[in-house]
Amino acid sequence: MQLLPWPRRLRALLLSCTDKTSIAKVHALMILTSTLADGSFNARLIASYARIGDTLSARKVFDKLPQRGVNAWNAMIVAYSRQDHPSQVLSLYHQMVADGVRPDSSTFTVAIKACASMLDLEIGEEIWSTAVDCGYERDVFVGSSVLNLYAKSGKMDEAVVVFEKMPRKDLVCWTTMITGFVQSGRPMEAVEMFRGMQHEGIEFDGVSMTGLVQACASLGDLRLSLSVHGFMIRRGLRMDVMVQTSLAHMYAKNGHLELAYRVFDRMPYKNAISWGALISGFAQNGFAGRALEMLVEMQGSGFEPDSACLVSALLACSQVGFLKWGKSAHAFILKRLDFDEVLGTAVIDMYSKCGSLSYARALFDQIISRDLISWNAMITSYGIHGHAEEALALFLQMTETNIKPDHATFASLLSAFSHAGLVQEGQYWFDVMVNKYKTTPGEKHYACMVDLLARAGRVEEAYELINSVNTEPGLAVWVALLAGCHNHGKSSIGEVVAKKILDLNPDDLGVYALVSNFYAMARKWDDVADMKKMMKQRGTKKVPGYSLVEVNGELHAFLMEDMTHQHHEDIMQILNKLDHDMRAIGYVPRNEFLLHNSKDEHSFQQRKFIKLL
DNA sequence: CCCGTTGCGG
């Protein structure tokens, strides 16, 4: 065997080390031979410790070095970056600059990546400008890192400026732009970027394809999705877990659950995220039972659900008011997972939607990590349950934190006032929102205000409010106004509004029921007949509304004219008694809301639904 | 030669 000269043997030895003891032996050898003083070798030793995840030993070597070259600094910085410690990366970067060591391409790349992961645009831009001063403006690595910094900060227009100035754009640069556009909610531009990359003759890989698939997912265009899927099969792309999971999610998110399941079922290797893609798909498309079933199946297959899976499961429980399962999901989280903002908010939302407002509030007060959406969820909960004073109290408490209310916060607050019928308060806070918080009111806010005024019978004022806005209001606003017209006998405005609603051609049966009831109130019998006809046509295509009640951990579903419940007789008896008692204290039922159509088909679909649970 | 892009959730 031919002996290599000492330094080269050391390098080969270090590369072959896979555990701490063998690295320590080479380390000792380096001390003996004084090789540690060599800037390129001490960096390799640090990198070796870092590669096996032993950042602490790497740091010990680093700290003991008599003088540190750029490679030693880089090795240590990369070690922290690998361990996902961006703040350590930045602190070392600053120390290095203070020590008078000139950073290189690798240093800038990793330092800017650290800023991107901490969403610190300001420091990132500062480092970028230092990099430009040091002559790295045209560097692909530094450049792609900067693209990612802008992308993660939601500044895609700035990213485009940098991107277009880059003399050489490689696969990673294009991919960063594609995923950046997707994450900024601009999927169309992501698709255009992919086309641009193809046009430049740069071959795609699994990562860039994942970006394109995510773009398809958020566009929700089935034809595009299918053609992209076909394209990757034709081009023989190696399908790894990530690509397949993103494909399954693309179909699942847009309600094509059979297609999603087909992709999922054929995956040779699955992980918790793949399961999560399917569970969220079922939950978000109203298949609560299937979502929960999959969570159980997942555990049966030996996978530990992660926090995203539980968020979807909680959403499923919220939708059907399944408190028993929601509670066990909560218990699972306490036992196995850490509460973050998302998970905490999902549990709060579940308790609230399952009727346990006090549990929701107790949890809200208890969890440490609360962000904007957590506050919004809690304020919404009070609003839904009709507690406008509590909603306002919470809002005021929120203004004392450093979390700033956004458009959704005000939408929740205004909706709380509208549910409670507090007109003056609603108007006051609408004014505060516009003038103090400089929040431009959107569709939702106008819908709340119109609802608020219309419920109070101030239909003309509501109508004026709509007309004072430049943009054409959407369905929700008109519906709120028409409900007011119906309840307060305002025929003339109502007729205009009803026509607006019908022009929008909504696919919600309840909306047609409202229009029909309005016409009945206005004694427009021909229009009532038209509405009934239209509802009958559309009604057969839609699953009807139903109520779910949980008793002792079991869900019971109820829908019109369905007599399949095992305690049907008893329930009817109690309902009749309640109806009698209510009438006795002055309740007048509003029968015009009742619909009678295609009961047999509905009952059948309902039974199918119950089976899924 | 190292460094940059990477799938599910409120």
SS (H, E, C) A419-462: HHCCHHHHHHHHHHHHHCCCCCCCHHHHHHHHHHHHHCCCHHHH
Q: Do A555 and A575 reside in the same domain of the chain?
A: yes
pLDDT of residue A594: 43
Last residue of a domain, one of A515, A542, A569: A542
pLDDT of residue A258: 97
In a domain? residue A504? yes
pLDDT of residue A414: 95
Name the DSSP letter for residue A167. S
pLDDT of residue A318: 97
Domain count, chain A: 2
CA–CA separation, A151 and A178 (whole Å): 10
Write down which residues 125-184 in A have CB closer than 7 A to strand B.
140-141, 143-145, 148, 170-173, 175-176, 179
In a domain? residue A604? yes
pLDDT of residue A590: 60
Q: Do A482 and A562 reside in the same domain of the chain?
A: no
Query: Nearest nt to A147, CA vs C1'?
Result: B4
Name the DSSP letter for residue A38. S
CA–CA separation, A49 and A30 (whole Å): 14
Last residue of a domain, one of A542, A564, A590: A542
In a domain? residue A453? yes
Quickly give A177 CA vs B5 C1' distance in Å.
9
Residues composing chain A: 613
Residue range A506-531, pLDDT digits in tens: 877 788 888 888 898 889 898 888 88
Write down which residues 567-596 in A have CB closer than 7 A to strand B.
none
A403-to-A56, A430, A591 alpha-carbon distances in Å: 36, 19, 46
CA–CA separation, A112 and A83 (whole Å): 16
Q: Do A519 and A560 reside in the same domain of the chain?
A: no
Query: Nearest nt to A168, CA vs C1'?
Result: B4
Closest CA to A178 of A201, A153, A141, A204: A204
Write down which residues 188-207 in A have CB closer than 7 A to strand B.
206-207
Last residue of a domain, one of A484, A519, A542: A542
Say yes or no: Cβ of A16 under 7 A from any atom of strand B: no
In a domain? residue A491? yes
SS3 A523: coil
Query: Nearest nt to A340, CA vs C1'?
Result: B10
Question: Locate tokens 């109130």: which residue?
Answer: A521
In a domain? residue A242? no
pLDDT of residue A6: 66
User: Which stretches in chain A have pLDDT values below 50?
Assistant: 1, 592-613
In a domain? residue A458? yes
pLDDT of residue A595: 44
Domain extent, residue A488, equals: 442-542
In a domain? residue A474? yes
CA–CA separation, A579 and A179 (whole Å): 57
Q: What is the dihedral of CA A151, A154, A157, A158, to 10 degrees?
A: -70
Q: Do A558 and A605 reside in the same domain of the chain?
A: yes
SS3 A549: strand
Q: Are A41 and A31 in contact (CB under 8 A)?
A: no
In a domain? residue A497? yes
* Chain B bases closer than 7 A to any CB of the protein: 2-10
CA–CA separation, A94 and A73 (whole Å): 11
Write down which residues 97-116 in A have CB closer than 7 A to strand B.
105-106, 109-110, 113, 116
Closest CA to A206 of A261, A244, A168: A244
